[in-house]
Amino acid sequence: MKATINRRDFLRAGAVTAAGTAILPHLLTGCTSGPSATGHNMTLHDYLEHFGVTKNMIQDIIREGLSKGGDYCDVYFQHMIGNYIGLEDKSVNRAYSDVSLGVGIRVLKGDQTGYSFSEEISMDAMKSAARTAANIANSTTKVEPVAFESPKLPNYYLIKTPWEEVSINEKIPYLQQINDKVFALDNRIIKSNVWFMDETSYVLFANSEGRMTYDYQPMGQISVSCSAEQNGQKEQNGYNLSGRRGIEFFTPENIDLLASEAVKRTTDLFEAVKPKAGELPVVLAAGSSGILLHEAIGHGMEADFNRKEVSIFSDKIGKKVANDFVTIVDDGTNPNVRGSINVDDEGNDTEKTYLVENGTMTSYLHDRISAKHYGVKTTGSGRRESFRHMPMPRMRNTYMENGPHKKGEIIESVKYGIFAETFTNGQVMIGAGDFTFYVKSGYLIENGKLTQPIKDINIIGNGPKVLSDIEMVADDFKMAEGGWTCGKNGQGVPVSMGLPTVKVSKITVGGVNA
């Protein structure tokens, strides 16, 4: 049912999603269309050949899309191959694969969008989809497509070995090693699940303004989840590493890290308590605490919401929203990070966008439609889940830059509060500005010291208010390592986030009442 949750955007952590994830990634050693080349060395010619199309054919489809008077048309070819293998009850006993191939066709008339897609790369099927999308317009004006040019793009995710060249039997030992380590580390462990996921996407994009781009997008992820038992009490938690990476990322050090973090995060929960309910000072640990930014400000700065004036940030550009030492960016250019893109999903260059610079709100995140509405340059934030979806402004890697404080002095400044360290999910109501995130683990801070572990509490705050309540920012920035997926209007895209240690003077913390 697509009917509900529209403007309530959510974020999900890869680690905690249990085995039966809805999407079935995969394991094949080669793909069905038999590409003549793989990986990032492919040329435009290779991409055209991969999809079995020519520039003239694409031009014809665009012309068809513009036939009803649309003022812009783009086409997005995608071939996606996902592989997924899983270990449960000590054996690698399941594998899934998914292949999807198709082309999305979009026609714009002003702010209006017509969209259709075809899963068959034949002229008849593509033209028929183009005619469907064309129907958004109904006028006699004719826009003539411009001859294609392909810009040279940067590459933020060079990898050594394309995933299609890694067969299933090369991946299996990773899972077994991690599982063995998990059980060797702590005799309270009773179950361990390990998943190895890789995905490769080939994208060819062209529009009626003559821009043609292509991109090879790899993604790798290993997730570990374990259950432990102590005196009849059970706990479960996990850890995962993800990025636009090849298999070389899974070094012996990272394999050790996966096992040791998963075990530590699970067994720490045995000692955990719940804080008292109410407004408390919250210190966010460096790293995945960037979830605060994603929810408190990131979604509200996506310009589609502001164009419709439904975001609490709709009138905040140019205004002072936080202390001088607060600078928040959304960046598509971080090497090998999960939310990085070489080019956005409407063919525009990506960039590092300043949302808040030295405490002042500077820019929204724009796609083509919103940039045109505001008369500004796009920020390269137009993203989509796949060829089956139309692009919209989305985050990439959202983080705060280092500030003037030290982690030690931040913790020492808190008399009673919480130190939030790991998270499972977050959500925001764009208009009211209420955002939440779920703290899986952390610590109580009592009299300036970390004392008992805490677990399973939701934090709820208001975006603009929390920004102005950021009291201290440390100099220990860290990017999240896990596989975060952001959901908006039914589309999921990979993102990342980061934060130095940060103190917020007060947020409402779920807890118990005396």
Tell me which residues in 368-407 interact with other proteins (CB under 8 A).
Answer: 388, 390
Nearer to other proteins, 376 or 460 (CB): 460
Smallest distance, Å, CB 334 to other proteins?
A: 26
Smallest distance, Å, CB 344 to other proteins?
A: 19
Nearer to other proteins, 323 or 508 (CB): 508
DSSP output for 261-290 = HHHHHHHGGGG-B-PBSEEEEEEEPTTGGG
Nearer to other proteins, 234 or 264 (CB): 234
Strands of 110-211 (E only): list them: 112-118, 189-207
Nearer to other proteins, 212 or 296 (CB): 296
Binding-site size for other proteins (CB under 8 A) equals: 101
Tell me which residues in 325-344 interact with other proteins (CB under 8 A): none
Say if strands 72-88 and 91-109 run parallel, antiparallel, or are unpaired.
Answer: antiparallel
The site string for other proteins over 281-320 (x = CB under 8 A, - otherwise) reads ---------------------------xxxxx-x------
For position 413 contacting other proteins by CB under 8 A, the verdict is no
Tell me which residues in 114-133 interact with other proteins (CB under 8 A): 114-117, 119, 132
Say if strands 491-499 and 484-488 run parallel, antiparallel, or are unpaired.
Answer: antiparallel
Q: What angle do CA 441, 411, 337 make, to 5 degrees?
A: 55
Residue closest to 266 by CA, chosen among 208, 183, 349, 151: 183
Smallest distance, Å, CB 428 to other proteins?
A: 8
Q: Pick from 59, 193, 208, 213 the residue near other proteins by CB under 8 A.
A: 193
Based on C-alpha coordinates, what's the Rg of the chain? 24
Nearer to other proteins, 127 or 405 (CB): 127
Q: Pick from 49, 88, 209, 476 the residue near other proteins by CB under 8 A.
A: 88
DSSP output for 226-264 = EEEEETTEEEEEEEEEEES--GGGS-HHHHHHHHHHHHH
DSSP annotation of 455: E
Nearer to other proteins, 2 or 152 (CB): 2
Nearer to other proteins, 18 or 147 (CB): 18
For position 54 contacting other proteins by CB under 8 A, the verdict is no
Q: Pick from 136, 292, 337, 418 the residue near other proteins by CB under 8 A.
A: 136
Tell me which residues in 159-178 interact with other proteins (CB under 8 A): 167-169, 172
For position 478 contacting other proteins by CB under 8 A, the verdict is no
Nearer to other proteins, 41 or 513 (CB): 513
For position 154 contacting other proteins by CB under 8 A, the verdict is no
The residue with tokens 């790293």 is 287
Smallest distance, Å, CB 343 to other proteins?
A: 23
Q: Pick from 271, 409, 446, 456 the residue near other proteins by CB under 8 A.
A: 456
For the chain, the straight-line distance linking the first and the last C-alpha, in angstroms and rounded, comes to 40
For position 469 contacting other proteins by CB under 8 A, the verdict is no
Q: Pick from 146, 158, 376, 432 the residue near other proteins by CB under 8 A.
A: 432
Q: What gap in Å lies between CA 514 and CA 493, rounded to an integer? A: 41
Stretch binding other proteins (CB under 8 A), from 28-36, 66-74, 351-359, 491-499: 28-36
As a whole number of angstroms, the longest Cα–Cα distance in the chain is 76
Q: What gap in Å lies between CA 302 and CA 312, rounded to an integer? A: 11
For position 487 contacting other proteins by CB under 8 A, the verdict is no
Judge contact between 289 and 352, C-beta under 8 A.
no
Q: What angle do CA 8, 14, 18 make, to 5 degrees?
A: 100
Q: Pick from 223, 267, 427, 501 the residue near other proteins by CB under 8 A.
A: 427
- Name the β-bridge partners of 206: 75, 212
Task: Write out the H or E segment, with its range, that includes residue 400.
Answer: strand 397-400
Judge contact between 51 and 121, C-beta under 8 A.
yes
Token pair of 126 as six digits: 């593509």
Tell me which residues in 217-256 interact with other proteins (CB under 8 A): 227, 229, 233-236
Instruction: Tell me the CA distances in angstroms from 123 to 53, 54, 108, 177, 187, one per residue in order.
Output: 9, 11, 21, 49, 61
